[in-house]
Structure 1
Amino acid sequence: MKRLRTWACTALLALGATACGSGDAGGGQSAAVESGKPAKVVVGLLSVAAVAPVYLGDDKGFFEKEGLDVEFRPVQGGAEAVPMLMSNEIQFTFGNAISMAYAQLQGINMQFVTEGAQGGTNAKDATSGIVVSKKSGIKSAEDLAGKTFGVNQLKALGEITIRTALDKRGVDTSKIKFVEIDFPEMNAALANGSIDAAFSTEPFMSQALAAGNRNVMDAISETAPHLSLSGYFTSKQYAEQNPDVVKRFQRAMNRSLDYAASHEDEVRAVIPQHTKVPPKVAEMMKLPHWTSELNVDSIRLLISQGRKYGLFKKDIDVDAMLGSAS
């Protein structure tokens, strides 16, 4: 929670500074088109395979056709992206509902613009899983009671979905523990025994299974089929001041998502160009489920479960988060 408090405070400071500032479309409050020129927007992106549709859509000219001049900027996560949104350094970013909920608790209002990526419907078509060492005595989800899980971030998606999925199976979750470990380090943590199970995702899950480790369940699909893992969002302030630009970005992004869903070969080709995923891994890894249909019910479920498990100390206004994207 210390990390979350830190970025939230930084973002609030940025919000205060923004209230007194002005500038052009890339650094001020308005991206309105002048004299027929395209609107310049900057999009914050993580270096993950799930963002492939936005690059593909740019290559196909979907954003240009909507009168948008897009620039992509790397971000490491909500801790970096939210202050950049509030200072209007970027106008849109890739992130998730949990980060948006924490921001709202700090008085920072974000809005979904479109879907980002969704989970599978079962363990076979999922891009995530709960992986245990090949030497582990854990054979099923029921054996996970009281175990230590590696998750990429504490008090976030991993914890919510693991608790939810195990509760559904009647597994006692009162004594399970969570340790924060970056995804690339999960397999090593399994090997050295510092965790009993890893909340893993692609491409690291495929690497783990290739080494003989086992996937005992997919907590994400068991929480909800096609659960909304991420999305593209903006600040409420920007959305209110630039509704036309937001609508155009939404249309271009939705077209990009649907195109990616039906052009797998092109997706696998574009992933190594913009992420650290090697071409050979990109050819073999499972891909997220992409669609322009925002899974609103799964977002509401995530927030509700987060409240149930004590991650959020107050109720979250999900309707405000969804904005016009619902």
Structure 2
Amino acid sequence: MPTTRVGRRRLRTLSALLTLSAVLALTTACGHSGPGTTADGKDVLRYQGQSGIVTAYELADSLGYFSKIQLHWESDTTSGPANIQAAATKQIEFGSAFNGAVVKLVSGGAPVKSVLASYGSDDLSFGAYLVKDNSPINSARDLIGKKIAVNTLGAHYEFVAREWLHDNGLTEDEIKSVQFVVIPPVSAEEALRNGQVDVAALSSPFLDVADQRGGVRTLFTDKALFGKFDYGTYVFRTDYIAAHPDAVKDFVQGTARAIRWLQTTPTDQVQAKFRAVIAARGRNENDGLVKIWKSPGIPVPGAVIAEKEIQIWIDWLGRNGDQAAGKLHAADLFTNQYNPYANGTYPSDSGPNGEAIAK
């Protein structure tokens, strides 16, 4: 019966949250807030990167925007939720994930706070849900009982798809019939073309590659649903923010400026810089994705967080039975105080060094 399935799901969710809470308690009791400092007094920030991709904070480091911190790559992350859980459990100092996953983590008791937007949808970069050209799927109702490929569960693509299905009139039981299948983005297009799934959720650069090959069409996009929007944020543990405010401030100001650099620099120059960064870090990576890069996907100058970008997912989780999330307030989950484009250091529409931008 539906009620039984929901009950089992909530028990699994509760079990997972209790496990995370136990891990957090353990690391708080016997861990420390970071790996220490360099010989010249800089705070070392451990992080998880992404193969073949240059993150905004890695770009900031290369551009010389940090003065009080030194980045230390630990490994590559497998997903946004895993990345922020690693931050919450003190394996690294900060992480980035979809805001719905951040809210879910906080609702489970994790002491983290968002400090800067990390990704989103702008005019050139966004997420799309693809079907084959000859697919009979043309509406939300056509997805009942079908399979959607997503990069991970409980993150951006699943949340957005569920919201789209809800907005298009499907009942909760009908939405539950839609199966979300975890397939890495590099393999999702092939899975769609081979008929393993009915829909593949992709964003740039994988979306661009699929479009170039042809034979697929867009069912809907996140941009069509929410407009230009910031979907994810960088988070730090609240105890780290309290103990190392200057380090967090330096990370935010430098990364915000790097994002602004991406927002205001010609594409060919960005791609050249990315190739140089990938070559310099010596991780034996393929830089093939760089040539397809179009934009940072963050529409707001300097990646300033807006309250609505958090509140929408608090409301979503509350509507879907997460009572703890329903009691949260967006303003308590984020801060813009360290962002130079929000705290008065730079005009909101200025360049990466506060300079006026030619129009």
**TM-score over 0.5 (shorter chain):** yes
Matched residue, 2:189: 187
Matched residue, 2:6: none
Matched residue, 1:210: 212
Deviation string for 1:277-296 (max 9, x for gaps)? 85454223443323422233
Match of 2:66, SS state, is helix
Q: Which one-letter code corresponds to 1:70 in the other structure? A: L
> What displacement does 1:118 show?
1.4
Unaligned 5+ segments in structure 1 are: none
| Bigger relative contact order, structure 1 or 2 (CA pairs below 8 A, ≥6 apart) | 1
Q: Which one-letter code corresponds to 1:240 in the other structure? A: A
Q: Out of 217, 220, 225, which is 1:223 matched to?
A: 225
> What displacement does 1:59 show?
0.9
> Aligned pair in 2 of structure 1 residues 126, 144: CA closer, same or farther (>3 Å)?
farther
> Aligned pair in 2 of structure 1 residues 9, 252: CA closer, same or farther (>3 Å)?
same
Distance 2:15 2:294 in 1: 34
Distance 2:259 2:237 in 1: 21
Q: Out of 191, 196, 199, which is 1:197 matched to?
A: 199
2:187 pairs with 1:178: no
Whether contact under 8 Å (1:150, 1:179) holds in the other structure is yes
Whether contact under 8 Å (2:111, 2:238) holds in the other structure is yes
Whether contact under 8 Å (2:88, 2:111) holds in the other structure is no
> Aligned pair in 2 of structure 1 residues 219, 4: CA closer, same or farther (>3 Å)?
farther
Distance 2:217 2:307 in 1: 28
Matched residue, 2:35: 26
Q: Out of 55, 59, 82, which is 1:56 matched to?
A: 59
2:310 pairs with 1:307: no
Match of 1:322, SS state, is coil
2:130 pairs with 1:157: no
Match of 2:200, SS state, is strand
Distance 1:218 1:286 in 2: 20
Whether contact under 8 Å (1:94, 1:230) holds in the other structure is yes
Distance 2:116 2:245 in 1: 14
Matched residue, 2:112: 110
> What displacement does 1:69 show?
1.8
> Aligned pair in 2 of structure 1 residues 175, 189: CA closer, same or farther (>3 Å)?
farther
Distance 2:285 2:135 in 1: 28
Distance 2:18 2:187 in 1: 27
> Aligned pair in 2 of structure 1 residues 172, 120: CA closer, same or farther (>3 Å)?
farther
> What displacement does 1:257 show?
0.9
Matched residue, 2:296: 288
Q: Out of 265, 270, 274, which is 1:267 matched to?
A: 270
Q: Out of 37, 45, 49, which is 2:49 matched to?
A: 45
Distance 2:139 2:255 in 1: 37
> Aligned pair in 2 of structure 1 residues 77, 155: CA closer, same or farther (>3 Å)?
closer
> Aligned pair in 2 of structure 1 residues 164, 280: CA closer, same or farther (>3 Å)?
same
Whether contact under 8 Å (1:162, 1:219) holds in the other structure is no
Quote the RMSD (CA, aligned, Å).
3.3
Distance 1:71 1:119 in 2: 28
Structure-2-length-normalised TM-score:
0.74
Distance 2:248 2:21 in 1: 21
Aligned length: 312
Match of 2:334, SS state, is helix
Deviation string for 1:275-325 (max 9, x for gaps)? 998545422344332342223312221332233244x34325233321455
> What displacement does 1:173 show?
7.2
Distance 1:78 1:145 in 2: 26
2:19 pairs with 1:9: yes
Whether contact under 8 Å (2:115, 2:236) holds in the other structure is yes
Deviation string for 1:6-45 (max 9, x for gaps)? 587256324423334447x515xxx6x99x6222222333
Distance 2:17 2:295 in 1: 30
Structure-1-length-normalised TM-score:
0.80
Q: Which one-letter code corresponds to 1:244 in the other structure? A: D
Q: Which one-letter code corresponds to 1:269 in the other structure? A: A
Deviation string for 1:47-103 (max 9, x for gaps)? 474x53222211110013xx2222233322356434543453421222232222222
Matched residue, 1:243: 245
> What displacement does 1:110 show?
0.9
Matched residue, 2:72: 71
Matched residue, 2:131: 132
2:254 pairs with 1:252: yes
Whether contact under 8 Å (2:60, 2:258) holds in the other structure is yes
Distance 2:49 2:135 in 1: 36
> Aligned pair in 2 of structure 1 residues 86, 297: CA closer, same or farther (>3 Å)?
closer
Whether contact under 8 Å (1:109, 1:321) holds in the other structure is no
Distance 2:45 2:255 in 1: 13
